[in-house]
Amino acid sequence: MSTGAVQDLVDTLAAGLRRSVVVDDPQVRLLHASRHYGDEDDVRRRAVLQRDAGPEIVGYVLAQGVASWSRPGTIPAAEELGLRARLCVPVRWRGTLLGLLMVVDADGTLRPDEVARIAAGADELAALLAEDRRPELDPAAQDDAEALEDLAADQPSVRRSALRHLGARLGPRAELPLRAVVLVCRDEAAAEGGSPGHPAAALRYALSGEVVAPPAWGLLTSVRDDRATVLVTARTDPGEDAVAGLAERLVARVDAVGAGRLRCVAGVGGAGHGLEQARAVIGQARTAASAAGRVRPGPVVRWSGLGEYAVLLRLPLDRLAGPDGPGVDALPDEVSRLLAHDRDGTAVTTVLAFLDHAGSAPAAADALHVHRTTLYYRLERIREATGLDLDDGRTRLALHAGLRLRELLDPAGLRQV
C-alpha cells in the first residue's frame, strides 16, 4: 500500500512551499493533509478535524467544474463559507480523476515555478493513488456499472451480455425481487456556461456516502453523464414507499452539493422479479423521472402515479413536433377545433377540468372555482363554436389524450406543478 508514500509526498510538497496542502478524492472528501503553515481557514480546520468539509463546500468546489479540469486552476475565495482561494490540480491516471491536490493561495502569490512543482507532484500522486487501487479504477465495479446500464439497452445482444455478467456476479441475488430508481441532474446555469462535470460529480457524491438503506437491500449503481441508476434487490419486494424514501434521500444529497445550480429529480419504477425484468423497471423509473416537475409535482415521481402519462411520455415527442408549432399536426382534429376557438385559454382549461372529473359538472365547477351555471354556459358555448359533442365517449377520449399530449409538446402550455 502507498498510503505512507502519499503522505510523505504531501508533507514534502507543503514544507517546500511553506503552504498548507491537502489531497481530496473526486467527491471532495479529505484523503491526506499536511500540517498547517499559518494559512489555514475555517474550511481546512473543519476538514482536518472532522474529515468532512461539509456539503456546502463540496458543492462550491464541484460548481467550479473541477471534475472536468485537465490542468491547474484556481478555486476562488468564498468569504461567506470561510474559504480562502486555493490552487487546485486534478490528479488523473490515464484520464480517470483520482483526486484533487489543493494548495492554499489566499493572496495569489504562487509563482509559476511553484505551480509547475505542484503539477509535477500531482503526477507522482496519480501513480501512488493508482497503486492504492482507488475505487475509480476498480475494473470490477466499472464492469458492473456498465452492465447495469446495458440491462436497459435496446439491443437484445447487449442485454443478454449484461444479464450473463451480472448473473455471475450476483449469484442467487440475480433472481430476487427488485425495484429501480433513476436520478437526473440538470445544471440550471448551463446556458451561462455551467460547470462541466458538476452533475455527474454530484450524483457520484450522493451515491458514494452512507446511503441510508435497509441492510437487507443490495444496491447496484451507475452514473452516466447527468443520470444515475440504482437497482435495489431484496429477498422480499423492497416496497414502493421505502424505495421512494431512498430516492428522496439521494435527491437531498445531490441538492446539498448543488451550490444552488443543480436541479435533481428522481423516478421510481414498479416492482420486478429477477434481472430479466430489470429493463422494464429501469425504463419505468426513467419515464417517471421525466415527469418530475413537468406533469407531476415534486422532485420524486412514482411510475404508479403517472396515469395516462405512462404512455404519453414514451412517445417520440421530438418527431411529433411540427414545423408550424408544438406538434399541431400531431393533435387530433377535435383538439385543433377547440384550440381554434380558444383565444385566452379558458376553453382548454374548462374542457380539461370537465374531462378530468369524468364529466361531472359539479366537481369540475368546484375545481375551476366557478358557479355551476357558469360552467354550463362555457360548455354550451364550446359546443356551439366547435361542433364538438362533449357527451360522446370517443370525442372525450380524443380531447383528453390530445390535450395531455399538447402539454408535453408545448412547454409553454404545461401546467405549473
pLDDT for 135 equals 64
State in words which class domain 139-312 has: alpha beta
pLDDT for 260 equals 85
The full set of domain ranges for the chain reads: 3-137, 139-312, 317-413
Q: How is 375-402 classified by DSSP, letter by letter?
A: HHHHHHHHHHHH---TT-HHHHHHHHHH
pLDDT for 325 equals 56
Output the tens digit of pLDDT for each of the chain's 417 residues: 467 888 999 999 999 999 999 999 998 999 999 998 888 888 988 888 888 888 999 999 999 999 999 999 999 999 999 999 999 999 998 888 999 999 999 999 999 999 999 999 999 999 888 877 666 667 888 899 999 999 999 999 999 999 999 999 999 999 999 999 999 998 887 656 667 788 998 999 999 866 778 888 999 999 998 999 999 999 999 999 999 999 999 999 999 998 888 899 999 999 999 999 999 999 999 999 999 988 888 999 999 999 999 999 998 877 776 665 555 677 899 999 999 999 899 999 999 999 999 999 999 999 999 999 999 999 999 999 999 999 999 999 999 999 998 888 875 444 333
**At 3, which amino acid appears?**
T
Q: State the sign of the Cα–Cα–Cα–Cα dihedral 327, 333, 338, 343.
A: positive
- Given phi > 0 = left and psi -120 to 50 = alpha, else beta, which region is 311? alpha
Q: Which three cell numbers stand for residue 384?
A: 356551439
Picking from 239, 199, 215, 220, the residue whose alpha carbon sits closest to that of residue 282 is: 220
State in words which class domain 3-137 has: alpha beta
Residues in the chain: 417
The CA angle 74-79-81, to the nearest 5 degrees, is 90
User: Residue 386's CB: how many other CB atoms inside 10 A?
Assistant: 21
Q: Which three cell numbers stand for residue 15?
A: 514544507
Contact between 168 and 245 (Cβ < 8 Å): no
Core vs surface per residue 223-246: b (16+ CB within 10 A) or e: beebbbbbbbbbeebbebebbbeb
Cα dihedral value 300, 301, 303, 307, nearest 10: 170
pLDDT for 110 equals 94
The CATH architecture annotation of domain 317-413 reads Orthogonal Bundle (1.10)
The kind and range of the H/E element at 326 are: none
- For residues 340 and 327, what is the distance between their CA atoms, to the nearest angstrom? 15
Backbone angles phi, psi at 295, to 5 degrees: -125, 0
> What beta strand segments (E) does 173-304 contain?
177-187, 218-224, 227-233, 262-268, 272-273, 300-302
pLDDT for 9 equals 93
- For residues 227 and 189, what is the distance between their CA atoms, to the nearest angstrom? 17
Is pTM beyond 0.85 here? Answer: no
